[in-house]
């Protein structure tokens, strides 16, 4: 039972992070390798808002979420907007440079020492028994719930809302969408904002559960194989890929060696690249253009 709980929590963690990769790639065909750094920045923004609004967790979380949305928009306006029309490689290299700058900036502003944002929020993280046979933390259960809500809202948004339909149109045929009056740059900015928001949500919940330090960006990198395994242009694929990676990682940790935890996602990725390079639910034609 404990193994099952661990798999569910890890799947939710990877799914919440990897959907940010999918949102950017599905719309603009850019691999956002700065996603882990943006996720970490969202957690540090919560630390700052928790210090400002000490003892008011709701306001702190709302402000951190709003700031994360703004950060995503600013990244597009001041950096990725200039990459529009350039080669895919140039855009990917720009995200790598952004990741390095963000991680350096975070170390300068907040330092590299470990922090505990939950202490400043004034809330607790008790251990909860599940059916008497397994245990997990309250923040882990909250992460699972948030991941489920985020995916449900994203599916509804992409399928039924006007802006979601525009995002799908831009992702499939940007020139045709522009000719029909859709603001491509507005859609790209929205995708970056939503990606930064989902990444920040994951970073915030992880920081509340296990603390915050400069290594959090590596968790974002570990979630990248989940998005690739499922297919970079599919939200459902990100969910399936997260489950596959989580199952493999938990089983290797339990039955083989805990030291394999960081290598497990990339072992799954290598196998998938050999068998089906475009992922389980990815589109082969679209990936072949990259």
Map out the domains of the chain as residue ranges: 2-215
The pLDDT value recorded for residue 285 is: 56
What percent of the chain shows pLDDT beyond 70?
98
Phi, psi of 211 (to 5 degrees): 90, 175
Check pLDDT > 60 for residue 257: yes
Q: Which of the pair, 61 or 86, is modelled with greater confidence?
A: 61
Place of tokens 């590299």: 112
Q: For residue 123, what pLDDT is reported?
A: 86
Q: Let me know: does 282 contact 234? Beta carbons within 8 Å.
A: yes
**Mean pLDDT estimate for the chain:** 90
What angle (nearest 5°) sits at the alpha carbon of residue 52, between those of residues 140 and 76? 70
**Is it the case that residue 17 has pLDDT exceeding 70?**
yes
150-164: average pLDDT: 94
**pLDDT reported for residue 286:** 47
Question: Per-residue confidence at 213, pLDDT binned at 50, 70, 90?
Answer: confident
For tokens 């449900």, name the residue. 152
Is residue 279 scored above 80 in pLDDT?
Answer: yes
Confidence of residue 18 (pLDDT cuts 50, 70, 90): very high
Residues sharing a CB contact under 8 Å with residue 213, sequence separation 6 or more, in sequence order? 112, 113, 114, 115
Identify the residue whose tokens are 């499922």: 230
Tell me what the mean pLDDT of segment 86-101 comes to: 91
Contact 250, 203 (CB under 8 A): no
Question: For residues 161 and 29, is the Cβ–Cβ distance under 8 A?
Answer: no
Q: Tell me the pLDDT band of 258, cut-offs 50, 70 and 90.
A: confident
Residue 161: per-residue pLDDT? 94
Q: What is the pLDDT of residues 185-210, one digit of tens each?
A: 999 999 999 999 999 999 999 999 98
**pLDDT at residue 288, rounded to an integer:** 44
- Integer Cα distance of 126 and 128 in angstroms: 6
Q: Is residue 70 over pLDDT 70?
A: yes
Q: Which of 219, 181, 173, 171 lies closest to 199 in space, CA to CA?
A: 219
CB atoms within 10 A of CB 224: 23
Average pLDDT in the 27-46 region? Answer: 93
pLDDT band at 235 (very low <50, low <70, confident <90, very high): very high
Question: What is the rounded average pLDDT of the residues 243-247?
Answer: 95
| CA 215 to the chain's CA centroid | 15
Q: What is the mean pLDDT of residues 102-131?
A: 87
Q: Is the pLDDT of residue 229 over 90?
A: yes
What's the rounded Cα separation, in Å, for the pair 242 and 224? Answer: 9
Q: Is 227 exposed, middle or buried (0-12, 13-18, 19+ CB in 10 A)?
A: buried
């Amino acid at each position: 039972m404990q193994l099952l709980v661990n798999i569910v929590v890890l799947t939710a963690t990877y799914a919440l992070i990897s959907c940010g990769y999918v949102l950017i790639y599905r719309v603009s065909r850019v691999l956002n390798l700065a996603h882990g750094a943006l996720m970490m920045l969202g957690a540090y923004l919560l630390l700052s808002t928790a210090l400002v609004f000490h003892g008011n967790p709701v306001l702190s979380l709302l402000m951190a979420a709003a700031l994360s949305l703004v950060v995503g928009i600013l990244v597009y306006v001041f950096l990725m907007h200039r990459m529009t029309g350039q080669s895919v490689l140039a855009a990917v290299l720009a995200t790598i440079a952004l990741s390095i700058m963000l991680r350096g900036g975070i170390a300068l502003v907040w330092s590299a020492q470990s922090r505990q944002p939950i202490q400043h929020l004034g809330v607790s993280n008790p251990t909860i028994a599940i059916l008497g046979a397994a245990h997990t933390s309250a923040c882990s259960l909250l992460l699972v719930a948030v991941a489920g809500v985020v995916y449900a809202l994203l599916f509804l948004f992409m399928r039924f809302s006007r802006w979601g339909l525009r995002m799908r149109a831009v992702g499939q045929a940007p020139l045709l969408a522009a000719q029909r009056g859709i603001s491509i740059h507005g859609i790209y900015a929205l995708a970056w904002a939503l990606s930064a928001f989902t990444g920040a949500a994951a970073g915030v919940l992880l920081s509340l559960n296990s603390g915050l330090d400069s290594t959090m960006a590596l968790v974002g990198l570990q979630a990248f194989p989940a998005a690739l395994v499922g297919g970079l242009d599919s939200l459902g694929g990100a969910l399936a890929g997260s489950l596959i990676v989580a199952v493999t990682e938990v089983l290797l940790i339990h039955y083989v060696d805990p030291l394999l935890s960081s290598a497990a996602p990339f072992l799954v990725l290598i196998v998938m690249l050999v068998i089906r390079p475009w992922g389980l639910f990815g589109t082969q034609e679209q990936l072949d253009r990259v």
